Structure 1
Amino acid sequence: MVKFCFVALALLVACCAVQAAPSYDDVEAAWENFQAHYPQKKDASPQKIAKRKANFIKAHAMIEKHNKIKSVTFQMEHNEFSAMDDDEKKQYNGARPPPHHEGSKFINVDESAVSTRQLPASLDYRTDKCLASVKNQGSCGSCWAFTAITPLEFAQCKKTSTPVVLSEQQLVDCDTSNGGCNGGWYTSAWYYLKNGCAKQSLYTYTATKNTCKYTSAMSAATVSSYGSVISNSPASMQSALQKYGPLAVAITVVNSFYSYKNGVYNDVACDNLGVNHGVVVVGWGSLNGIPYWIARNSWGSSWGSSGYILMQRGVNKCSIEKHPAVIVSVV
């Protein structure tokens, strides 16, 4: 009887172990499905494909393990990052804080009295006519340029009541205070854009750094003034969002971020590390009692929730509340 119970227990443990980990067949099916959506390059060598598959299997295990945890507040999924290695993924970041901000050129947006002000439960600019469609920076570390341009597009549209789509490529090619595809910072970009920003249709995006082609005849918007928002003050960020529009912020991207699907992102792995990516906060709200920021990414509309991510609000998640800044006015 004892032997029977032991064998039964062993079979039960083995069964649970099989259910806890994806089978080889499940991984193969997922890999085939992935390749159908993200085909390998025709000239890819067997070694390159094998490396891609190894990266995918690692990502698949992470995603499966995470999504099976009932208590998680966000879900993960496969996307173009699933087959990339760490160095390739880093090319999609690019926030590089300068050693010194622009001093007197950097206006402080003081919203210190906001704690006593009534704020709405939610705000969402995603459907505002002044917010252009989500863009894709590609494998160029130009997130800083996209983070700089979105608030400018919004501010210009609010002034003229006419939507406008502006050029990130101008910043990549022409802004010598930043590093093109090697990274930069949004407030440095705004300082450069005091001399004008081209329409995207006149200066299209290539995801590579080229010779500067900007002329004043291309200009469709000009930054007049911009400001920092009090660091680590969610209420100040909310007030600035209401008053001026979308906020430029810097965050720390870690592995789980690349595979985000939906829900409120709250991975502790990104906390208390240096920032490496720029995104734009376009609103706030709460889901299942968890307060969040709505952050607009620059990895295309197929990433995350139509190009957006909900990030936990009020706890400086991934340093999102550390470096907020906003365009105050345009010429």
Structure 2
Amino acid sequence: MKYLSFSLFICLTLLSSMTFAQEEEYGLASYYSDDFEGRSTAYGDTYNKDELTCAHKRFPYGTILKVTRLDNKKSVRVKVIDKGPFIKGRVVDLSRRAAEVLGIVGMGSVEVKVEKVGSGNSSPAEEETQVRSTPVETPRSYDEPTPERIATTPAAEPKPVATTPAPTPEKVAERPVETTAKQADPVAAKPTTTTPTVNASKDRFSPVGKDYNPYGLYRIVLEKPDAQTGFGVQVASFTSYENVMQRVADLQAQWFDNILISIEPGEGGKSSYKVILGPFDDQKTAQHYQASLASRYKIRGFVIDLAGLKY
């Protein structure tokens, strides 16, 4: 019985490890600008464009990823040394050398498949070209959220998805208005309850940055984190709502989308607004991100514990 339990434990461990190792995702891959050469990443490493490295939001430092282009099956193995990208649709930012292996230099971004293949700290082996016998799966979804790294050309806009318009409710014939009161019918028809049909707007929205104007129509999406944990880098504090909007627009113009707003009670019944970038899982990562903000974007800030915010 002991041998059976031990064998079962080994099997379950191997199965869980295989499942985790086969994690994959689809989206857009871009690459670092040469301006980032020699600067520190969010994990404290020094970026070298000639090494096979990358940035990823979900996989931790040291993870080895295999990135495969979906159009020509070229692939490369890279090591995670930075946090990002922070732009909608993009799942990985590659070093210059990795981008050359995939042949995407000058293209800006391409659709790729990202797989976890290791978790060590050794340099990943390079795969110049790899053709698989099995067909490539259709991308299932795109990771959503602004990059810290800047590609040479913007990502292509996704094609609109055709939708079937909702049926238009029948119009009720209008009755002429009479000047004299009319006796009600002895048997009144029961009113019919109908649900109004709402057609989705076909208007497109574009991020607002340097073109921000205090007056205009803007779409605002408020999202609340599942838990108030982790760390962030506070980059501004205001008592004026208008100034908050302007600061958010300025950050969006620099391709940030990891923007948090903490609305706290202030003096005299007025609200206080803190602009925070994050969140990050631990304080050390947030500190490296703070240093990266200062060196890369000349943005000053300080690390705060999100769990310590009071409302």
Pairwise TM-score range, normalised by the shorter structure: under 0.3
Structure showing the higher helix proportion among its residues = 1
Rg larger for: 2
What's the TM-score, normalizing by structure 2?
Answer: 0.25
